[in-house]
């Protein structure tokens, strides 16, 4: 029988040994599944709203750039005419203007006497308007000496379909063709659409413009200098005497010669 072993006083008790570690590595922990010891990052709602707003703005810009159109235009001045013509009153004889019975912008009726010309033998001959309309101008004053056939006054009808006779620089007119769209801006501030129905073949001078429309004063406005090309524009749904435009009114004419999408400027 073995006697029990006695422990020496002052000697510490023997500690139990640690179990041996395994040489097989532990499997990695899956993110978001078993990482309960990490802090959770929460994205604020305002950040998401800002991101969504930026994305919506970007999409809107792309849609606008691919669907919107930018027009290329040329601009000139024109005059509104009933049926595209102006009637001129010419002196039937050579002589001296002794009287005017009307003035510019006044309405006259057909066969009305506008004034008188006195011949060298003191015979007074009336100047008679062939149509009813509005006097655009008086070419000469009282006391002026005139020859037979000299233009004395220009008259335009006041009712009927308006046609715009416009004048462009030759370089701009080269870009304009029949059928192109146009915008007509009248003195009252209203704008009407129109369509080019004729383009002149050759440039003309200011003097030729004055002869064509029968008014040097209007020619000074619509063709102040240099040579120009005449184009004819038919307004849509616009007639003289409708309260918007009158024959003889000067208008700004803008012809749309082309268009493109804004995104084309990027590429």
| Cα–Cα distance for residue pair 179/194, rounded to 1 Å | 9
pLDDT tens per residue, the chain (267 residues)?
445 554 545 444 555 566 666 565 666 555 555 554 555 555 567 777 878 888 888 787 777 666 666 668 899 999 888 877 788 899 999 999 999 999 988 899 999 999 999 998 999 999 999 988 888 888 889 999 999 999 898 888 877 778 899 999 999 999 999 999 999 988 777 888 999 999 998 999 988 888 777 777 788 888 877 889 999 999 887 766 566 677 778 899 999 877 665 555 555
Question: Tokens standing for 262?
Answer: 């804004």
- The whole-model pTM stands at 0.59
Q: Is residue 138 a contact partner of residue 146, using CB atoms and an 8 Å limit?
A: no
**Beta-ladder partners of 134:** 107, 156
Contacts of 184-188 spanning 24+ positions with Cβ under 8 A: 184/78, 184/233, 184/235, 184/238, 184/251, 184/252, 184/253, 184/254, 185/251, 185/252, 185/254, 186/80, 186/244, 186/245, 186/249, 186/251, 187/245, 187/249, 187/250, 187/251, 188/244, 188/245
| Cα–Cα distance for residue pair 63/55, rounded to 1 Å | 12
């Amino acid at each position: 029988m073995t006697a029990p072993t006695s422990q020496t006083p002052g000697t510490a008790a023997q500690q139990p040994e640690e179990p041996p570690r395994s040489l097989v590595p532990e499997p990695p922990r899956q993110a978001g599944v078993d990482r309960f010891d990490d802090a959770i990052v929460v994205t604020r709602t305002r950040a998401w709203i800002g991101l969504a707003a930026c994305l919506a703005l970007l999409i809107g810009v792309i849609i606008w750039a691919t669907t919107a159109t930018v027009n290329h235009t040329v601009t000139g001045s024109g005059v509104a005419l009933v049926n595209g013509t102006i009637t001129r009153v010419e002196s039937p004889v050579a002589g001296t203007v002794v009287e005017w019975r009307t003035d510019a912008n006044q309405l006259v009726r057909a066969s009305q006497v506008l004034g008188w010309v006195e011949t060298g033998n003191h015979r007074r001959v009336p100047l008679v308007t062939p149509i009813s309309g509005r006097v655009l101008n008086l070419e000469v004053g009282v006391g002026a000496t005139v020859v037979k056939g000299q233009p004395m006054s220009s008259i335009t009808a006041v009712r009927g379909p308006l046609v715009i006779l416009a004048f462009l620089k030759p370089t701009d007119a080269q870009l304009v063709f029949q059928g192109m769209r146009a915008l007509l801006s009248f003195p009252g501030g209203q704008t009407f659409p129109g369509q080019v129905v004729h383009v002149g073949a050759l440039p003309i001078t200011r003097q030729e413009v004055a002869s064509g429309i029968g008014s040097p004063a209007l020619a000074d406005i619509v063709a102040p200098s240099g040579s120009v090309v005449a184009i004819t524009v038919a307004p849509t749904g616009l007639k003289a005497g409708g309260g918007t435009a009158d024959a003889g009114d000067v208008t700004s004419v803008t012809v749309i010669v082309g268009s493109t999408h804004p995104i084309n400027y990027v590429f």
